[in-house]
Amino acid sequence: MTLATLSEVLQPALAGGYAVAGLVTLGWEDMRAYVAAAEAEGQPVILQAGPSCRAHTPLPILGKMFRHLAEQASVPVVAHLDHGYTFEECKIALDSGFTSLMYDGSRKELRQNIDETAAIAQMAHAAGISCEGEIGFVGYSGGEGSNGTDPQEAAVFARESGVDAMAISVGNVHLQQDKEGGLDEARIAAIQALTQLPLVIHGGSGVPVEQRRKLARSTAICKFNIGTELRMAFGSALRTAVNADPDRFDRVTILKETLEPVEEAARRVLRGMR
């Protein structure tokens, strides 16, 4: 069994100068492909259940799916709650077998974010699992704008929240479909100078691959969350499979044809972390 906590994969990454991919899952087909990709590349992987995934499949089911894949895997697999918005939701994830909780209080004022995140971190640590928090707000392509992380606030958050990893807003944007943007390396350096925590980039699909690799090797960024580019690979593979034979109707037969393209897309992501 290679089920791991977030700290168990990020601390070696911090020491070794590489990053671990947090891959956003939506269902069995993609999470299975992600683990196969991680095994093929010989790298750990973080399976992430975000809000849209949880709206489709209940947390207790997702926990069992993640743990089943981890038990069969030859590489460390983290079962991670992504963007948990309430204490109750995080508690359900913990009780469902998740090994890492990400509490998102980034829309709240600093003191409230620290206090609420600290309560989640304390609960997680008491159960022997990890906690990720977010300071500064990472916006959405075509939606809410970002609020960049203030380095001084990040230092206070890191010190007082008790988290094992800290997500920051440094030019990254959720749901970005191209890689024409880039991260603010000066802000990253200012944050890193004030804390020893592993840093996390949400919205990693919009970060150029070479910058991902550079920052993984040279900074405390140890985790890039990748969702959009993998969803695009799944959607393209699914369209190809459906259009290949209009008379086919069996969903299992059709969905099987997404495995190889999504696995290859995930392997490309993993290779860009080192």
As annotated, the active-site residues are 82
Unique residue bearing structure tokens 């200012």: 190
149 within 8 A of 187, measured Cβ to Cβ: yes
Ordered DSSP codes for 99-168: SEEEE--TTS-HHHHHHHHHHHHHHHHHTT-EEEEEESB--BTTSSPPBPPPHHHHHHHHHHH--SEEEE
Cα–Cα–Cα angle for 96, 129, 153, rounded to 5 degrees: 115
- Would you state the structure tokens that stand for residue 257, as one six-digit string? 């044809």
Burial 165-179 (b: 16+ CB within 10 A, else e): bbbbbbbbbbebeeb
Gap between the Cα atoms of 206 and 185, Å rounded: 15
158 within 8 A of 164, measured Cβ to Cβ: no
Dihedral of the CA atoms 60, 61, 66, 68 (nearest 10)?
110
Dihedral of the CA atoms 13, 17, 22, 23 (nearest 10)?
-120
Closest CA to 4 of 67, 77, 65, 90: 77
Closest CA to 231 of 55, 79, 23, 81: 23
223 within 8 A of 269, measured Cβ to Cβ: no
